[in-house]
Structure 1
């Protein structure tokens, strides 16, 4: 049975088990609720890079930091669609478009993003966006355009949030998740470890995610990739044991959620990634970049899949056969 009434003490007890006990428990939950050995391959493209007014301490796209990231305006539609087609041809089943905006504004750029959503949807890919804060009306417009998922990470605990970001509040984050959920878009929300937070912060963030009105459909677990020029440039690398604790605890708390092994994977050998899949991770980002930071490319991931005997998850797997996925042009009927 799925629970959204976990107590903080329960989450803490799960998280602080001996790591091998924790992984064994998570593996059992994973086997009960998921298809083991099946991993969703996702691709993330920065469609508008840099120049963001926020002060997220980890982010190379914040305008106030000098990180060497070259800002560019919204990419041409054709360039984005071509990138989505390449991702599909390489084995991705979800394509996520990221824009370095604080919030969505009702303007021509948003209209163009809506068109991109429709076009990518019509390729047969699950289309995801991460565009900053959205209101109810904007979430509804994204849904009507064919958006499948929306990513908006909590990043850290409510208690630690102001140490990382001061240009918006934790409640702003939660409000966006509520608007997305109300619009019928699948929620993708996770966090970053390695920001200087404590274990208590990590437990609190997982508790918040697991006690939302409904579990997020996808929970990315990111390890900080330190970037020179940001306030967190000198943070040490997160260990595999820390990643395992996060992934395994997320799997136990949210059995049917996709748990995504996200940023930081470039530094992880296949042996470490294999442990994460054993602990319940069943989604990755593939492709040379995650917005602006390095990431394993498609060929490296194909080799890893072959080595570990993993199979790619199909698009729209959780959508009932015969259901229609909205799009402005040709709507896709799943299973047709």
Structure 2
């Protein structure tokens, strides 16, 4: 019988046993957990906007926005407030109920804090849940964003502690955990996950999930990204990860984080309809919608609607998605 409530004492050996179980056994467990905690056939939609593109001082090996790499991406200034609000309104019209704003910064500077707060307040006023990712935060900045009404802060761990230095050298794993702690102390929900397909081993994928499991409470959202290789970045020629491996990771996350959104995030553009469906069947109950994810392509509304229709799924608000549906039992004729 799978665990139906959050645990914070998962061991690597336990997570390894889940990850390496026969796929039908693993998915059966993940679906049992999902059915007990979330509505059947419902998918929440979020939309992500790059509010400040390029010129980042970090050297994350997967990122087109790093100033360390020649990817052809032009650095831009922070977007104007009215442009952000316009994009948020369009996202809401397309069915998204969470709007995420991403700024390519190593850390949020105090001079930019009032502008970010204004964006949060304006997007909240449109009736959307808000999320921001803007690099490392100081405690007072996290509290200021909370006061502005910020719902979520995204700060991914990216990979395992052991593999991390193969991906990033300009900040440490502890730096990431420190920002996560500042957000939690300020009362902000967390959106924390990672990226698969960066040349890491399965042991590293298990290590990432184990690190996330130790956060108490667990992140309210766990985005699982498939690397989108960008020419000019150190990881631009990484071998693609299989969709089955993605599905395994998502299924394990669904079991380990029973009360968290598990979001099928970057990389959907390269997946077939069947591959995306497998990941949703594995336990993902949230997706990013729209044509773009920061600087990479996303399937777009037409393809997403076709996928959900084929699966018999429907998009729903976060409240509807988080309410377990009535369970139906086949009756004898």
TM-score class normalised by the smaller sequence: over 0.9
Matches within 5 A, 1:3-42: 3-42=7-46
Instruction: Find the counterpart in structure 1 of residue 311 from structure 2.
Output: 308
* Aligned residue in 2 for 1:79: 83
1:180 aligns with 2:183: yes
Q: Which of 274, 280, 284 is the equivalent residue of 1:277?
A: 280
Give the C-alpha shift of residue 254 in structure 1: 0.7
2-structure distance, mates of 1:296, 1:111: 33
Please say if residues 180 and 186 of structure 1, whose CA atoms lie closer than 8 Å, have aligned partners that are also in contact: yes
Kept after mapping to 1: 8 A contact 2:247/2:279? yes
Give yes or no for contact 2:38–2:322 (8 Å, CA) kept in 1: no
Is the CA contact 1:248–1:280 (under 8 Å) kept in the aligned structure 2? yes
1:105 match: 109
Q: In structure 2, which of residues 227, 242, 247 is the aligned counterpart of residue 244 of structure 1?
A: 247
Equivalence map 1:83-232=2 (5 Å)? 83-107=87-111, 109-232=112-235
Partners of 1:293 and 1:204 lie apart in 2 by 27
* Alpha-carbon distance in structure 1 between the residues aligned to 2:274 and 2:321: 29
Helix, strand or coil at the partner of 2:110: coil
Alignment partners' CA distance in 1, 2:15 and 2:322? 30
Alignment correspondent of 1:333: none
User: Cα offset for 1:317?
Assistant: 6.1
Please give the alpha-carbon distance, in whole angstroms, between the structure 2 residues aligned to 1:317 and 1:5: 30
Q: TM-score, normalised by structure 1?
A: 0.92
Match of 1:64 in 2: 68
| Displacement over 4 Å in runs of 4+ | 315-320
Coordinate RMSD, CA, aligned: 1.4
Decide whether the 8 Å contact of 1:125 with 1:315 is kept in 2: no
Change (3 A) 1:181 1:201: same
Cα distance in 2, alignment partners of residues 318 and 240 from structure 1: 24
Q: CA deviation at 1:20?
A: 2.0
Deviation at 1:299, TM superposition (A): 2.1
What count of residue pairs does the alignment treat as equivalent?
319
Q: Residue in 2 aligned with 1:267?
A: 270
**Unaligned segments of structure 1, at least 5 residues:** 321-336
Cα deviations by residue, 1:220-248 (Å, 9 ceiling, x for unpaired)? 00010000000011112221111011100
Quote the offset at 1:114 in angstroms. Answer: 0.6
Whether the 8 Å CA contact 1:126–1:316 is kept in 2: the answer is no
Q: Structure 2: where are the runs of 5+ without partners?
A: 324-333
8 A contact 1:41–1:313 mirrored in 2: yes
Correspondence 1:41-56 to 2 at 5 A: 41-56=45-60
Report if the CA contact (8 A) 1:259-1:283 is conserved.
yes
2-structure distance, mates of 1:60, 1:316: 35
Structure 2 length normalisation: TM-score?
Answer: 0.93
Name the structure 2 match of 1:323: none
